[in-house]
Amino acid sequence: MEEKITIEEASVKEETAEKMGKAGTTVKEGIVDSLKGINEIEAEIVSLVRNKVSNTLQATGSVAGEGVNVTKDVLKGAIGAAEEVGTGLTVSTKSVAKGIIMGASDVGGDVISVAGATIRGAVKGAAEVGGDVAVVMRRTADGVLEATKEIGGNMEEVAKVVVTGAIEATGAIGNSAISTIKAMMVGVLEGVKDVAGTALPKPRTPHPQS
């Protein structure tokens, strides 16, 4: 009898393991499909924003002056979409930021100024709709820097603007977690390590001599 129970138990265990293996495979495939879908959506957002920004700047005929205004306009649209759908601001922010930078670059716009306007606008917009400012800020920074790298822009200058713009914007909305946000922004800029030190001269004064 003991032998029979042991065989049955072994059979049950084998069947359970097989089911678990199938469940794991199903979950894996589902996640892969979902991520592929997200990537496609993000690519579409980048393309949509990029085209809109470049077309608008071309139409105005004043690339240098209008870049910041167009950036504000596009960010308002993205924030409005997030409010309407009820979610998605943090998900779409990186793609929107990337599209803005690439669109400005396409028509010879001032990428550095636009980068600053993008990070400040994203922080302000997230605060207005009650979004997670820190997450939105990080994803915006990621999108700006990714786009800058792809277009061969000045990573150091853009990184400086992103860091200082984020901290200024956060202070302006009364966020008390400035030190946490500063640390997070420095982490975002690991790819441009030397920039973090030069971009934050004021906050980094550990030994005042007065």
Matching residue, tokens 């917009």: 125
Q: How far apart are CA 167 and CA 184, in angstroms?
A: 11
In this predicted structure, the answer to whether residue 106 has a pLDDT above a threshold of 80 is: yes
Sorted by where each begins, the domain ranges of the chain are 2-199
| 158 close to 148: Cβ distance less than 8 angstroms | yes
In this predicted structure, the answer to whether residue 205 has a pLDDT above a threshold of 80 is: no
Q: How confident is the model at residue 74 (pLDDT cuts 50, 70, 90)?
A: confident
Q: Letter for the amino acid at 61?
A: G
Q: What is the pLDDT of residue 123?
A: 85
In this predicted structure, the answer to whether residue 101 has a pLDDT above a threshold of 90 is: yes
Range with lowest mean pLDDT among 11-25, 164-178, 189-203:
189-203
Please name the residue ranges forming H helices in the chain: 2-60, 63-85, 89-106, 111-128, 133-151, 155-172, 178-188, 193-199
Supply 123's token pair. Answer: 């922080």
Q: Mean pLDDT, to the nearest integer, of 155-165? A: 87
Q: What is the pLDDT of residue 67?
A: 67
Q: What is the pLDDT of residue 98?
A: 93
